[in-house]
Structure 1
Amino acid sequence: MAAARPPSPGAAPAPAPKSLKNLADLKQVQRQLAETREREAAEAAARAVAERKRAAEKDLFARAVGATEPLRQKTRTVPLAPEPPAPIPVQHQLDEQRVLRESLSDEFDVTTLLDVDDAMSFRRPGIGTDVTARLRKGDWTIQAQVDLHGLRSDEAREALGGFIRNAHKQGLRCVRVVHGKGLGSPGKQPVLKTKTQRWLIQKNEVLAFVQAKPAEGGAGALVVLLAPVKR
């Protein structure tokens, strides 16, 4: 039998047997599993230590403070401030009457303000004579009236002031004021007629007035033109 020849120096090494390669892989897998188990065990141990520490701190706090109960909030009733009393209507009426008495004077001199004509008409500065002429002709429809005939002077003053104020608020433009002819007055003097003219001239809502036509009261009434409402 011929002897085996030694491998030549330039030849490649023979491959390792397959069984040895599988054994090396198995050992590597075993090492990885062991490392994973050790890491999980270390993490579990750390969590357990932290949990025991929290429990110990909680128990220490409970022993130091003792048993606790939630505070009960006492219900405290705060009294509300009393509402102001409603205004007394009577007092309101008295206040309005006082304002009217102060704003309308019986002694107001109108002789220089009235137009000298048969009807003794009135027009404010800036209002032309054509306005009183149209008022006398009836170009404006009479929308409301107040009858002062038979009232005392103070009653007539308050009634006229309130009537003019309310009519202007409602947007009325033309109203009639009945004051009577004064035939029943001492000396047959038309006292209320003269006072009515004075009161009307003092009202800023009044632009002009003229004596009414015979069919509308004649010398016993005045037709009054009111200023338009400012909007």
Structure 2
Amino acid sequence: MKTRRPPSVSDEDARLFREAVGPVRRAREAAPTPRGAPPPPLPQMRERDEAAVVDALLTAPIDPAAVEVGEELAFLRDGYPPRLLKRLKQGGYAIQDEIDLHQMNAAAARATIADFLAENLRVGHACVKIIHGKGLRSSSAGPVLKKLTDALLRRHGDVLAFASARPAQGGTGAVVVLLRTRA
């Protein structure tokens, strides 16, 4: 790579420059060198954040519902992005209607779920909750209404996704359903 030389300055250009700039004086020598290297910066905000987390863990009350163990339901229809189900699980959609299946037998629950979904699709609701219970009084076969709800929702073409509710909304005893809305 060739280096270009600056164009030469004529005497006339130099004279005009000096007249435009006026009198000049020589600058002082370079600034004095510092006495020593500055100390490294301290990550004060990070230290405060870490201390706050420790305090929160030690002082926060333990909510047994938050550590609920059970069979969580989750479903996402093929072709939809995983972030949709993640948002649903995190409570990112407002629940617009709900129904409680407690005390129903399987036949009544099946009809109730079908009617409930049809009505909510008709009015344009996008997010609903079905309370099926945890099946604590079920036989050894497990929670009947929970299994029935899971099977019916998976087969329903207008159900985009569903997931067990957050602990404050019923936990594994309820399911939040995202429906296809008609535009």
Q: TM-score range by the shorter chain?
A: 0.5 to 0.7
Amino acid at match of 1:210: A
Q: Which has the higher helix share?
A: 1
Q: Does 1:119 align with 2:41?
A: no
Which residue number in structure 1 is paired with residue 181 of structure 2? 228
Separation (CA, whole Å) in 2 of partners of 1:181 and 1:119 = 10
Q: Distance in 1 between matches of 2:73 and 2:92?
A: 19
Deviation by residue 1:192-222 (Cα, 9 ceiling, x = unmatched) = 1011100011111110000000000001000
TM-score, normalized by length of structure 1?
A: 0.47
Runs ≥4 in structure 1, deviation > 4 angstroms?
none
1:177 matched to 2:177? The reply is: no
Match of 2:4 in 1: none
2:148 alignment partner in structure 1:
195
Partner SS state of residue 134, structure 2: coil
Matched-pair contact (CA < 8 Å) for 1:207–1:225: yes
- Distance across 2 between alignment mates of 1:208 and 1:227: 9
In the alignment, which of 182, 192, 215 is matched to residue 168 of structure 2? 215
Residue in structure 2 matching 1:139, options 88, 92, 100: 92
* Higher CA-based Rg: 1
Counterpart Cα distance in 2 of 1:126 and 1:119: 22
Give SS of 1:187's match: coil
Separation in 1, partners of 2:174, 2:164:
6
Q: Distance in 2 between matches of 1:196 and 1:120?
A: 10
Q: 1:182–1:188: 8 Å Cα contact kept in structure 2? A: no
Considering Cα pairs closer than 8 Å and 6+ residues apart, tell me whether 1 or 2 has the greater RCO: 2
TM-aligned CA deviation for residue 134 of structure 1: 0.3
Aligned equivalents of 1:211, 1:140: Cα separation in 2: 13
Q: Report the TM-score, using the length of structure 2 for normalisation.
A: 0.59
The CA RMSD over aligned residues, in Å, is 1.3
Secondary structure of the structure 2 residue equivalent to 1:130: helix
In the alignment, structure 1 residue 152 sits paired with structure 2 residue 83: no
Structure 2: 5+ residue stretches without partners: 1-70
SS at the partner of 2:135?
coil
- 1:161 equivalent among 91, 114, 118: 114
Contact 1:205/1:226, CA 8 A, preserved across alignment: yes
Query: Contact (CA 8 Å) 2:73, 2:162: kept in 1 or not?
Result: no
* Structure 1: runs of 5 or more not aligned: 1-117
Cα deviation per residue 1:142-191 (whole Å; 9 max; x = unaligned)? Answer: 00001111100000000000000110110000000000000111227112
Q: Kindly indicate whether the alpha-carbon contact (under 8 Å) linking 2:165 and 2:172 is maintained by their aligned counterparts in 1.
A: yes
Q: Is the 8 A contact 1:153 1:192 kept in 2?
A: yes
Asked if 2 retains the 8 angstrom alpha-carbon contact of 1:212 and 1:219, the reply is: yes
Q: Aligned partner of 1:199: which letter? A: L
Q: List aligned pairs for 1:28-47, cutoff 5 A.
A: none
- SS of the aligned residue for 1:186 comes to coil
Q: Is the 8 A contact 1:123 1:208 kept in 2?
A: yes
